[in-house]
Amino acid sequence: MKKIFIILLILGQFIHAQNKKVKDTSRTELDNIFVTANRTKTVRQETPVAISKISAKTIDETKATALYEMVNKTPGVLMVNLGNEQHMMAIRQPMTTNAYYLYLEDGLPIRPLGIFNHNALLEINQFNLQAIEVVKGPASSLYGPEAVGGTINLISQKPSFYPEFKFGIQADQWGYKRIQASGGATIGKLGFHIAGISSIQENSWMTHSDYQKDNLNIRLDYAINDNTRLISNTMIGNYFSDMSGGVNEQDFYNRDYKSTSDFTYRKSEALRSRLTLEHDWNTNANSSLTVYHRDNKLGQNPSYGIRWSATNNPTSATGEVNSNNFKSYGAVGQHTQKFDFWNTTMVSGATFDFSPVTYWSYLIKLSATLNPGDSGKQTVNKYEIVSEHPETKLANYSADIYNTAIFKQISFSPVSEVTFTLGGRYDNMKLNYDNALDNSTGNKTYDKFTFKAGVNYNPFKEAGFYGNYSQGFSPPNITTIFRARPGTGGTTGKPAEFYYNLEPATFENFEIGGWVSVYKNKLSFDYAAYYMEGKNELLNIKLEDNTTDFRSAGETSHKGIEFGLNYTPNRQWHIRLGGTVAEHRYIDFKVSDITTDALQNLGGYEMPSAPRWTGNSELSYYPNWFPNFRAAVECQYVSSFYQNQINTVSYEGYTIFNGRLGYKYKNVEFYGNVLNFTDKLYAYNVGRGNVTSAQSSYLAAAPRTFLIGLQYNLCLKK
């Protein structure tokens, strides 16, 4: 990465030399314009979904070390920090790693269908973001499967009209350091933007938690003529992280932040490239064609893969090493047509994606050193590798995934105050596989038509209302399909059994909402109320030895209210309030076929890791008496939630405060962030199995953290 930053520094000098060649054109924030919900630029008043936008100003002032610091500012969103930019998500779902979220980069999925990874956003370059749009609720009718709980679209920086260059460094007291640089300009018909970032974590508050991340993004825009543009995007990223995992209850409350292993890790090598041709046929018609390629290698010795039982030979355990590698070749075509009749807009398109994937996992044997007993409980102090067994495969398959889809959406306004939106999409996922564990070959097909219908009613300039019905669809992740069931395969002596019969999850979502903006837009309020019902939702049961058995729930329900308020009484003050109240329950979830088991169906129970209340609010101050200074205090609240599926143990939740300061002097900005200002002891999530002997695993959050940074911003105008 040092070479990257040398290149970027040279770029800064080049930009300075081009100063007199470029016109002065200002960029405008269009916070009321969205592109994600309708795949085209649309005003909020014509968007019948719950959608939020994190602006360039918010991104710049947050100075986040990880995406969750920005995304959690959105009402209805809880991005769960798992450390070192690893994460899980909760949008109209409990905190989960399941494939019910779609992550987009400039409208294109980061992962192909069938190869979901809840950590996909760790590949994102935070210094390359212009905005973040979050659509809450199913968006499968436009973007396809996995767009169920929510869709997050990370919008990259575009080439500036005038030369600009940024360079920054930041660090905290726990061994985290980051260096970043970006630059861009438009010279004649060619515009370019380059952004690089390099992060490193060493000797942190948690043992065995080092990581390193390097990312480079390059964008080129070429104006073929006034109506035709060619856009190229390339991302190269490398990531390596220790995986510290959770800590037991005693260590957590003693603030003894020690990992039970010193060998677990996650590493990623990612390349994404795309080329887009856009053409404006006239003021009412636009077409685009994007071809793209992905190349991703993900290797792990995961902490979550350690299997240990307090009752079955507690001084030994097992783990695994795995590798998941895929490439993608695809295309997306889209045409947008506007008609004067009823102010109609029609978006039509088709996608094709071919993604060959290979996956293998093998057994490792571990020894477990126990802690002294505490009230009869046994916990592990440390795991150590005894032997590795590449010959004992836990999974071993290759597959070709073919994803094809067509979609269409139409919006029209028969009267000026009312806009109707109808959309539909047909997806077909074909999987040709070769499973080496049972020497089987075959194919599976998952297909579904998803539909949505919405209406916007804007009786006043200051207020609007909407309602929608939308469907969601998500086939099982193929890694789940070819994972041997617990108690089979490996060293069990029993033939491996697999999850070939898992059905796709389907969802129906009903939603109403609205917005109000008064006092010359100084006060705005938006809200949404939803009820979403899922069938065949893929869930898991954590067994006594920490293995996971996958089941499809017969039926689940998800309902809640999301709200956000922004108030700017004057230029000095800004108040943002955001919150969610939600309930997630099993309606029908059969967990046992054994008649003697006390609990056979979890119907009526709350889902674990599902807080009833979450919220994020912020007070910002920009004093007139001290120009170019800013200060903000942020509050993050998460209420109590159940740790296990049988609702016997809960975690109390947390309330924390963050502070941010910044001052700009000419081209230099100095800033400081304080995260967890009160040094609160809390965990991002706590999980526990259903059996009586199960013990809680705490994903501990960082103690009070001081981050300081410096950023140089050079913007040249004629």
Find all residues with CB under 8 Å of 450, minimum gap 6, and list them. Answer: 138, 140, 141, 424, 425, 427, 470, 471, 472, 473
Task: Please check whether residue 85 is in contact with residue 67, taking contact to mean a CB–CB distance below 8 angstroms.
Answer: yes
- Annotate 91-145 with DSSP letters as a single string: SSS-SB-SS-EEEEETTEESS-TT---TTGGGG--GGGEEEEEEEES--HHHH-T
Domain count, the chain: 1
Give the up-direction half-sphere exposure of residue 343: CA atoms within 13 A in the CB hemisphere.
Answer: 11
pTM of the model: 0.93
Taking 80 as the threshold, does the pLDDT of residue 548 lie above it?
Answer: no
Mean pLDDT, all residues of the chain: 91
Beta strands in 302-417 (DSSP E): 316-339, 344-370, 380-415
Taking 70 as the threshold, does the pLDDT of residue 1 lie above it?
Answer: no
pLDDT confidence of residue 270: 97
Taking 90 as the threshold, does the pLDDT of residue 12 lie above it?
Answer: no
Residue 229 forms part of a structural domain: no
Model confidence over 392-443: pLDDT tens digits? 999 999 999 999 999 999 999 999 899 999 999 999 999 999 999 999 999 9
Model confidence over 200-216: pLDDT tens digits? 999 999 999 999 999 99
Model confidence over 267-300: pLDDT tens digits? 999 999 999 999 999 999 999 999 999 999 999 9
- CA nearest neighbour of 177 among 224, 222, 212: 212
Which pLDDT band, with edges at 50, 70 and 90, does 551 fall under?
A: confident
The domain that contains 706 carries what CATH number? 2.40.170.20
Taking 80 as the threshold, does the pLDDT of residue 30 lie above it?
Answer: no
pLDDT confidence of residue 31: 53
Question: What's the rounded Cα separation, in Å, for the pair 259 and 249?
Answer: 13
Residue 648 forms part of a structural domain: yes
Model confidence over 612-630: pLDDT tens digits? 999 999 999 999 999 999 9
Residue 212 forms part of a structural domain: no
Beta strands in 568-642 (DSSP E): 573-588, 613-621, 629-638, 641-642
Identify any residues that bridge with 382 across adjacent strands, giving them in sequence order: 369
Taking 70 as the threshold, does the pLDDT of residue 333 lie above it?
Answer: yes
pLDDT confidence of residue 550: 82
Residue 216 forms part of a structural domain: no
Question: What's the rounded Cα separation, in Å, for the pair 506 and 475?
Answer: 9
Which pLDDT band, with edges at 50, 70 and 90, does 598 fall under?
A: low
Taking 60 as the threshold, does the pLDDT of residue 472 lie above it?
Answer: yes
Task: Please check whether residue 147 is in contact with residue 138, taking contact to mean a CB–CB distance below 8 angstroms.
Answer: yes
pLDDT confidence of residue 395: 93
What is the mean predicted confidence (pLDDT) over 241-265?
Answer: 94
pLDDT confidence of residue 10: 44
pLDDT confidence of residue 9: 45
Model confidence over 93-148: pLDDT tens digits? 999 999 999 999 999 999 999 899 999 999 999 999 999 999 999 998 889 888 99
pLDDT confidence of residue 494: 81
Question: What's the rounded Cα separation, in Å, for the pair 139 and 58?
Answer: 25
Residue 20 forms part of a structural domain: no
Residue 13 forms part of a structural domain: no
Which pLDDT band, with edges at 50, 70 and 90, does 487 fall under?
A: confident
Taking 70 as the threshold, does the pLDDT of residue 155 lie above it?
Answer: yes
Model confidence over 335-365: pLDDT tens digits? 999 999 999 999 999 999 999 999 999 999 9
What is the mean predicted confidence (pLDDT) over 181-205?
Answer: 96
Q: CA 694, 698, 703: angle at the middle one, nearest 5?
A: 160
Taking 80 as the threshold, does the pLDDT of residue 162 lie above it?
Answer: yes
Domain limits for position 363: 35-152+288-311+324-715
Question: Which residue type sits at 628?
Answer: N
Q: CA 656, 658, 662: angle at the middle one, nearest 5?
A: 175
pLDDT confidence of residue 597: 64
- CA nearest neighbour of 174 among 700, 713, 711, 712: 700
Residue 663 forms part of a structural domain: yes
Taking 60 as the threshold, does the pLDDT of residue 22 lie above it?
Answer: no
What is the mean predicted confidence (pLDDT) over 165-191?
Answer: 96
Model confidence over 662-673: pLDDT tens digits? 999 999 999 999
pLDDT confidence of residue 112: 93
Which pLDDT band, with edges at 50, 70 and 90, does 374 fall under?
A: low
pLDDT confidence of residue 7: 44
Model confidence over 504-542: pLDDT tens digits? 999 999 999 999 999 888 999 999 999 999 999 988 777
Identify any residues that bridge with 656 across adjacent strands, giving them in sequence order: 636
Percent over 90 (pLDDT), the chain? 77
Which pLDDT band, with edges at 50, 70 and 90, does 689 fall under?
A: confident
Question: What's the rounded Cα separation, in Å, for the pair 313 and 190?
Answer: 66
pLDDT confidence of residue 24: 35
Residue 629 forms part of a structural domain: yes
Three-state DSSP at 251 gives helix
What is the mean predicted confidence (pLDDT) over 34-38?
Answer: 87
CA distances 268 to 237, 324, 327, Å, are: 8, 10, 13
Which pLDDT band, with edges at 50, 70 and 90, does 23 fall under?
A: very low
Which pLDDT band, with edges at 50, 70 and 90, does 241 fall under?
A: very high
pLDDT confidence of residue 552: 81
Taking 90 as the threshold, does the pLDDT of residue 545 lie above it?
Answer: no
Which pLDDT band, with edges at 50, 70 and 90, does 41 fall under?
A: confident
